[in-house]
Amino acid sequence: MASAARENSPVAVVKQNLTAMAPEFRAALPAHVTVEKFTRVAQTAILSNPNLMRADRASLFGSITKLAQDGLLPDGREAALVMFGQQVQAMPMIAGVLKKIRQSGEVAKISAQVVHENDHFVVSYGFDEDVTHNPPPLDKPRGKAIGAYATAVLKDGSRMLEVMSLEEIDKVRAVSRAGKSGPWVQWWGEMARKTVMRRLSKRLPMSTDLEEEVFSRDDTMTTEFRPTLIEGDAQEAPKVSRLEALEHQIEEAETVESEPLPTNEPEGRADEDYGDQYDGTGPNGETLFGGEEG
């Protein structure tokens, strides 16, 4: 009786499932990661977290398989297994993302950092994009986070830089399904660094591979986005789960917000002169836009 109970315990079931999945791990893992090491790390990650022990098993082992395909260990440094309710999702950490980029052989140096308000931070754009970033001494407060940046030096010496303000990062967070809980709450710095690194990765030589092998399989950076339907089109808009589509939507919204309202005023008359309550009429009562002809 006691022996049968031990065999059916959650710990035993986890070990049995991981052992049964060894051939699948072996086929997915890159040569430098052995199936024994990956299985051992995955088992430790599960057994050390009671929530994972009680989680949905299909999502748990599905997430572990995704990490095996990426060649990332669920050790809390390269990747982690995070909970959304009873569902488990794979979360590559920034160290795992940088590891994948370095393994491509196209990049000599790569980094992503969070900037705080008391840091000394200077950006230089042009043919040689560069950044100077010096935090204050360790015994001094850095203050609140105000943004993040990612920088890379290619094998040919070319430098690339991407900087995102806190406002830009929060816009990405706002459209993420993980924005109000989970990674964005527990690991804000990790998510901010991954967000700016993803934007920089579009300019790297291996951008397509990174999108397919890292970011598109990162469950913590996905959402469902429905584009606006054209009037009269009854067909349901497709679901899009990549942040690239979301960033595109954000960029379009910013473009629309920055465009001036059309008026018939002489050149040099700013739209702001009408104030927040402007109702679409000119200074002599004529309709400029949005009204009906009398």
pLDDT at 293 over 60: no
Ordered DSSP codes for the chain: -HHHHHHTSHHHHHHHHHHHTHHHHHHHS-TTS-HHHHHHHHHHHHHT-HHHHTS-HHHHHHHHHHHHHHT---SSSSEEEEEETTEEEEEE-HHHHHHHHHHTSSEEEEEEEEEETTSEEEEE-SSS-EEEEEPPPTTS---SEEEEEEEEEETTS-EEEEEEEHHHHHHHHHTSTTTTSTHHHH-HHHHHHHHHHHHHHTTSTTHHHHIIIIITT-GGG---B-PPPPTT--SPPPPB--HHHHHHHHHHHHHHHHSPPP--SPTT--GGGG-TT--SB-TTS-B-SS----
User: 152 φ, ψ to 5°?
Assistant: -145, 145
Chain Cα centroid distance, residue 147: 14
The sheet carrying 145-154 orders its strands as 107-116, 145-154, 159-165
Instruction: Supply the angle between the helices 35-47 and 57-70 in degrees, to the nearest 10.
Output: 140
Torsion of CA 111, 116, 118, 119, to 10 degrees: 10
Please answer whether residues 9 and 47 qualify as being in contact, where contact means their C-beta atoms are separated by less than 8 angstroms: no
| Most confident listed range (118-132, 178-192, 264-278) | 118-132
pLDDT at 47 over 80: yes
Q: What is the pLDDT of residue 267?
A: 42
Average confidence (pLDDT) over 14-34: 90
Number of Cβ within a 10 Å radius of residue 42: 25
CA distance 141 to 79: 29
∠209-64-192 over CA atoms, to 5°?
55
Chain Cα centroid distance, residue 116: 20
Nearest Cα to Cα of residue 200 among 160, 244, 157, 250: 160
Q: What is the pLDDT of residue 210?
A: 67
CA distance 170 to 283: 40
Q: Which two tokens stand for residue 76?
A: 């809390």
Q: Which residue has the higher pLDDT, 107 or 250?
A: 107
Average model confidence (pLDDT) for the chain?
77
Task: Pick the range with the lowest mean pLDDT from 57-61, 101-105, 171-175.
Answer: 101-105
Q: Which residue has the higher pLDDT, 280 or 122?
A: 122
pTM: 0.65
Number of Cβ within a 10 Å radius of residue 271: 12
Q: What tens digit of pLDDT does each residue of 146-204 get?
A: 999 999 999 988 899 999 999 999 999 988 877 777 788 888 999 999 999 989 988 88
CA distance 169 to 237: 26
